[in-house]
Chains A and B, each alone.
Chain A
Amino acid sequence: DQQVKQNSPSLSVQEGRISILNCDYTNSMFDYFLWYKKYPAEGPTFLISISSIKDKNEDGRFTVFLNKSAKHLSLHIVPSQPGDSAVYFCAASDRTSSGSARQLTFGSGTQLTVLP
């Protein structure tokens, strides 16, 4: 059972326009959400995060929105640039059973292609 879902495997956007990547989750214990960008054969690079006590977090061209009631979050990239082309993973975090660490559950990723 997938606890974190990214239902769009791919998205193509024109340069300068807005990219919207979506993510849904089912586990109400998740209290922290992160977006990572990943190039092939590299580790995920942290982009932006949001705590469950907020509904919006903004960092430059990246904004993450969280709708707790719908268990939905989205990443907006404005304006999109060709260098943004990569796989974007949504990740949800909860504490481990010992309460002393955090584990991430990843969505399946969305390949974003920004066309020049």
Chain B
Amino acid sequence: DTEVTQTPKHLVMGMTNKKSLKCEQHMGHRAMYWYKQKAKKPPELMFVYSYEKLSINESVPSRFSPECPNSSLLNLHLHALQPEDSALYLCASSQDLSGDGYTFGSGTRLTVV
């Protein structure tokens, strides 16, 4: 298995809703990431988990809450989002220190209404 799987592929949520994005990999990668990509812009790093511990939080608002239940799973909990949070949310994983194997999922297209 050489894939990063993200669910759901599309999500529409209201500003008062609570939802979660899920990401899964079975490549034995020990680092997992959340990126956010707006239209016609490059992906921007949000969070880094290394060995299931939060390593980096790029000043992301608290309405985004990451969780890493185990080495294969990464969640992003969403609460009280704003319309400007609408974007493609990408999960990635990598071997811990090697540059090899940095793999992205196909993303969750989030629309906040």
Contacts and interface: CB of A to CB of B under 8 A. Distances in A.
Contact of B102 (A42, A46, A95): A46
A29 interface: no
A54 B77 CA distance: 40
Contacts of B107: 41-43
A96 interface: yes
B94 A46 contact: no
Contact of B90 (A43, A99, A102): A43
Contacts of B88: 41, 43
Given A100-B96, A102-B98, A109-B40, 6 more contacts: A31-B99, A42-B106, A101-B30, A101-B50, A101-B96, A101-B97
Interface of B: 4, 6, 30-31, 33, 40-45, 48-51, 55-56, 88, 90, 92, 94, 96-100, 102-107, 109
Interface of A: 31-32, 34, 36, 41-46, 49, 51, 89, 93, 95-109
